[in-house]
A and B are shown apart, each in its own frame.
Chain A
């Protein structure tokens, strides 16, 4: 197997483009990525979408581990890395090699932020993902903690989930308070990551359509010179992703 380029180092050698979004729960990143997806498809691009912790094999295990509350910071981190490796190999690399656009909802930076807050070593988790490729564009949707909380509370989800709120860390017996403490630490960690890896910071407090306009402008610039692969007879792909409630991982 060939040695891949480091996550920090050289760009990947494939003809496709990898665009990723990062941000805490309630930042609106998934909505933005979905709108970008619609737009790219409407322009005739071939697009493949993948999201964090979604491979069947690992998802079932994570679910089991969460149910029995037996996950430790290290097994939690390793399970997500396994999921990522499997998706990179099976979902991300093939379309990139075929010259497609790949959109990823969360990338390794999620692990760098969240797993470190959970207590694993900063160096270790970076080494863990050394096989990852560097995205062509990485957006970070930055949002103040209170905005994220009010969005999540009045939104469709209603309440926070156990791990999403960091309840396993015993920060506070109150779920909302625990979420606030846990996600605030994650925000602080993201701020460091933005500098370290040069993520594009987006203001996630703006109107949805304003944010989307900014995103599309940036993507359009980045895609200048990119030759989209025509599908058979130039046929447009179906809008196969429905606009539904963003799932939390």
Chain B
């Protein structure tokens, strides 16, 4: 609680003072291109000699199967759904993220607690509980938010993976069909992300730009956070 590195009521049995690495979260709604950019960032950082691990939403050893099963068949209330995400996150935080930070790695997180905040808020209309639940989360050193408008997003998702049930928020019955539902659901998420971008001072990156431009912007935000980046002679690229 007293420790400023935790979002709220922290892990009381854990001392975060010796975390040497940097935690960088890439946020943004479904299909915005986060994973592609994270791959490129990892490559870029490793070339510079930084140790990098990536961690992704619902990818914990403990929970990934459970969440799949839950999503495949069971109608979930928003509490269970959010708590499943929280358990997955806690497992990764304690078994992947914190050990890596302790060893001085750069941790690139594909989505972070803000995704859970947005999804729960859209379903519950209440921000307090979900933020309390994730009180044990570490505050990242940097949050980059890949922002897109829903029209562009819809086209992009149709062109690539197609729209799926959960990304369309079909459990909320917002629209007559998948397309309508997708647009309404993603608009609500984007609206909430935009609010959080101000509240938590995300670094907003326009995800409608070309991949090269987006990558360039992301690197610009990350560079100042890196340990010893000035030594690396990157002064020209340091943004305002």
Query: Is B133 close to A, CB under 8 A?
Result: yes
A85 touches B77 (CB 8 A): yes
Query: Is B141 close to A, CB under 8 A?
Result: no
| Chain B residues with CB under 8 A of A223 | none
Closest to B124 in A: A1
* Also in contact, A131 and B79, with CB within 8 A (given A70-B95, A79-B87): yes
A121 touches B84 (CB 8 A): no
- Give the complex CA separation of A131 and B80 in angstroms: 11
Q: How far is the CB of A34 from chain B (nearest CB, A)?
A: 27
- Give the complex CA separation of A86 and B86 in angstroms: 14
Closest to A123 in B: B9
A86 touches B76 (CB 8 A): yes
Determine which residue in B95, B124, B133 has the highest number of CB atoms from chain A within 10 A of its CB, and name it.
B133
A89 touches B77 (CB 8 A): yes
| Chain A residues with CB under 8 A of B123 | 1
Query: Is B135 close to A, CB under 8 A?
Result: yes
| Chain B residues with CB under 8 A of A60 | 66
| Chain A residues with CB under 8 A of B194 | none
1/0 per residue, CB under 8 A from A, across B57-92: the answer is: 000011101100110001011111001101100110
| Chain B residues with CB under 8 A of A71 | 62
Query: Is A119 close to B, CB under 8 A?
Result: yes
Which residues of B172-201 are within 8 A (CB) of A? none
| Chain B residues with CB under 8 A of A65 | 62
B83 touches A121 (CB 8 A): no
| Chain A residues with CB under 8 A of B11 | 74, 120
Which residues of A29-65 are within 8 A (CB) of B? 57-58, 60-61, 64-65
B12 touches A120 (CB 8 A): yes
* Also in contact, A74 and B94, with CB within 8 A (given A57-B69, A79-B87): yes
Point out the residue from A64, A88, A89 that lies within 8 Å of B62, measured CB to CB.
A64
* Also in contact, A86 and B80, with CB within 8 A (given A3-B126, A78-B86, A128-B132): yes
Query: Is A214 close to B, CB under 8 A?
Result: no
Q: How far is the CB of A127 from chain B (nearest CB, A)?
A: 4
Query: Is A236 close to B, CB under 8 A?
Result: no
Q: How far is the CB of B230 from chain A (nearest CB, A)?
A: 37
Query: Is A81 close to B, CB under 8 A?
Result: yes
* Also in contact, A57 and B133, with CB within 8 A (given A70-B95, A79-B87): no
A61 touches B126 (CB 8 A): no
| Chain B residues with CB under 8 A of A78 | 83, 86-87, 90, 133
Closest to A118 in B: B13
Point out the residue from B1, B79, B90 that lies within 8 Å of A85, measured CB to CB.
B79
Query: Is B33 close to A, CB under 8 A?
Result: no
| Chain A residues with CB under 8 A of B135 | 121, 124, 127
Query: Is A72 close to B, CB under 8 A?
Result: yes
B77 touches A1 (CB 8 A): yes
Query: Is A130 close to B, CB under 8 A?
Result: yes
Point out the residue from B13, B84, B133 that lies within 8 Å of A73, measured CB to CB.
B13
* Also in contact, A82 and B77, with CB within 8 A (given A72-B94, A119-B13, A124-B132): no
| Chain A residues with CB under 8 A of B66 | 57-58, 60-61
B9 touches A127 (CB 8 A): yes
Closest to A116 in B: B12
Point out the residue from A64, A82, A119, A124 that lies within 8 Å of B83, measured CB to CB.
A82
Point out the residue from A64, A75, A90, A120 that lies within 8 Å of B87, measured CB to CB.
A75
- Give the complex CA separation of A193 and B73 in angstroms: 37
- Give the complex CA separation of A130 and B125 in angstroms: 15
Which residues of A94-144 are within 8 A (CB) of B? 119-121, 123-124, 127-128, 130-131
10 closest A-B pairs by beta carbon, nearest first, are A124-B9, A85-B79, A127-B132, A119-B13, A82-B83, A89-B77, A78-B87, A121-B9, A86-B80, A61-B66
What are 12 A-B interface contacts by the 8 Å CB criterion?
A72-B94, A72-B95, A73-B13, A75-B87, A86-B76, A121-B10, A123-B9, A124-B132, A128-B132, A128-B133, A130-B129, A131-B79
